[in-house]
Amino acid sequence: MSKRILVTGGAGFIGSHLCRSLLNQGHSVICLDNFYTGSKGNVAELMTSPLFTLLEHDIVCSIDLEVDEIYNLACPASPIHYQSNPIKTLQTSLLGVMNMLTLALAKTAKILHTSTSEVYGDPLVHPQPESYWGNVNPIGLRSCYDEGKRCAETFCFDYQHQYGIDVKVVRIFNTYGPNMHPNDGRVVSNFIIQALNNQAITVYGTGNQTRSFCYVDDLVKGLMAMMNTEKGFAGPVNLGNPGEFTIMELAEKVLWLTRSKSPITYLPLPADDPHQRRPDITLASSKLIWQPVVNLDDGLQETIMYFKNRV
């Protein structure tokens, strides 16, 4: 059955892939973005579809649309972008989420909110299950994002408890792939851009800190699976690839795959940067019947090819 689906942040990295997948299923898609980090280029090929509508709008301001489902992805997600205007980041996480929940309530629409692994902070539990409450600095440089997302989850569950709306919450772990912003400061895009330009690979700290990397196609399948769960199941649910790699291992993979001769340089670790990050996806595996299938080497190849074409 075809639905009318709103994707906020739809011209962003993950949002553009989600819009494409929803269109491929025959749904009408409203892509809403203020283009703070999103790009019209990410959705240019979708503009020819009669089922696709692009709206320039900021979710900090309310909007009235006829929709059946809402995927709320609108929020800058890289430290460079969310720290450049922390007040705006908080407004998006709080006022923006409240506006989308209010729209869902008015239209009796399902809403899926994308939270983040950053709600776990610099975790003292490893890997991180959804039951872990986190270790977050509420007044640090990252707190506009970390605490904004934590409070946004509270909004979602309070709207569910108070008004009975059908809410879904996912916590996204590091995701990569085509359509990443080339200057977003994330480790995968940083390393690839530096390697392709034969610039020094910048590793923060010793490089022994770990991350898990989920290819965007896998993540989108998880988002859609979560949206299709029964009413009453709200999560939160971790979505990410449980494969764990050190930052140095990632740097070495990128250098090998790009055949780059870039040297590696070391810079101080940013404040509150987590030392370990890996999702426990037991709940996603059992409830969503979802597992990531793209291995890191294959996903990096696709991402490198995307940036090669851009560079």
Q: Which residues are catalytic?
A: 145
| Token pair belonging to 246 | 């050190």
Q: How far apart are CA 263 and CA 292, in angstroms?
A: 32
Contacts 24+ apart (CB under 8 A), 296-302: 296/213, 296/241, 296/243, 296/245, 296/250, 296/253, 297/253, 297/257, 298/215, 299/176, 299/177, 299/213, 299/215, 300/176, 300/188, 300/192, 300/253, 300/254, 300/257, 301/257, 302/177, 302/178, 302/215
Partners of residue 168 on adjacent β-strands: 112
Choose among 50, 55, 49: nearest CA to 74.
55
| Token pair belonging to 244 | 């764990």
Partners of residue 6 on adjacent β-strands: 30, 70
- Does a cis peptide bond (omega within 30 degrees of 0) precede residue 127? yes
- Does a cis peptide bond (omega within 30 degrees of 0) precede residue 182? no
Q: Which amino acid is at 83?
A: Q
